[in-house]
A and B are shown apart, each in its own frame.
Chain A
Amino acid sequence: GAVVSQHPSRVICKSGTSVKIECRSLDFQATTMFWYRQFPKQSLMLMATSNEGSKATYEQGVEKDKFLINHASLTLSTLTVTSAHPEDSSFYICSARDREYGYTFGSGTRLTVV
């Protein structure tokens, strides 16, 4: 079935630094990639929708200058958290629509900013 590979699975960074999270669709072309954020014991909140070759669409309240999304190819989308702060610590998950009208999720990235 469809697979989305997400890396890294865990990252600890110092406050003020930037972190890049990658999501690759391994056996299908992901024209649209979704980026979610999940705080402990909460649901997934959509941060942005990225379409290959165009600018991402950010949800209300999500700072586009802080969460940079690049979707340069049909198989790769990246989320860069710039100048990270402790409040950015969260579980980040990417998702792509696959051929079977389902959504395939990456394995998630646990970001801890210290």
Chain B
Amino acid sequence: ELKVEQNPLFLSMQEGKNYTIYCNYSTTSDRLYWYRQDPGKSLESLFVLLSNGAVKQEGRLMASLDTKARLSTLHITAAVHDLSATYFCAAAYSGAGSYQLTFGKGTKLSVIP
């Protein structure tokens, strides 16, 4: 069974600071995803990481994947208030060919002005 652990679960940070969210998964996974969720909304896709060493960046967010360590990180650079949201990582595995996603518990990020 694939398990995904995310930490921290809650993160309060000041604007302008940097921080990293960590995502560990328990078994071999085909792909790693990062999503953002705003209150009352569905998930917005941020990154898809397909291979070891993959690094993707979009604005102040950068995601990386280390398949050997079974670890993905989401790094926030110079946080701004607009980044306040809940961030989920999810790992995919091809169980019965269906490629189900298993989600972490999410990290609620609050950026304080």
Contacts and interface: CB of A to CB of B under 8 A. Distances in A.
Interface of A: 6, 32, 34, 41-44, 46, 49, 51, 57, 93, 95, 97, 100-108, 110
A43 B101 contact: no
Given A43-B104, A103-B101, 15 more contacts: A42-B106, A43-B106, A44-B43, A44-B88, A46-B100, A51-B98, A57-B96, A93-B42, A95-B43, A100-B48, A102-B45, A102-B48, A103-B33, A106-B42, A107-B41
Interface in B89-110: 92, 96, 98-106, 108
A34 B95 CA distance: 13
B31 interface: yes
Sorted nearest first, the 10 A-B pairs with minimum C-beta distance are A108-B42, A105-B43, A43-B103, A43-B105, A107-B42, A105-B42, A44-B103, A49-B98, A43-B106, A102-B48
Majority SS at the chain B contact face:
strand
Nearest to A98: B45
B88 A108 contact: no
A93 B100 CA distance: 14
Contacts of A95: 43, 101
B33 A102 contact: yes
17 contacts: A32-B98, A32-B99, A41-B108, A42-B105, A42-B106, A43-B88, A46-B101, A49-B98, A57-B96, A93-B43, A102-B45, A103-B33, A103-B45, A103-B92, A104-B45, A105-B45, A107-B42
A57 B101 contact: no
Interface in B1-60: 31, 33, 35, 40-43, 45, 48, 50
A101 B105 contact: no
B95 to A, nearest CB: 9
Contacts of A103: 33, 45, 92, 101
A48 to B, nearest CB: 10
Contacts of B35: 105
A44 B98 CA distance: 17
A42 B45 CA distance: 18
Nearest to A93: B42
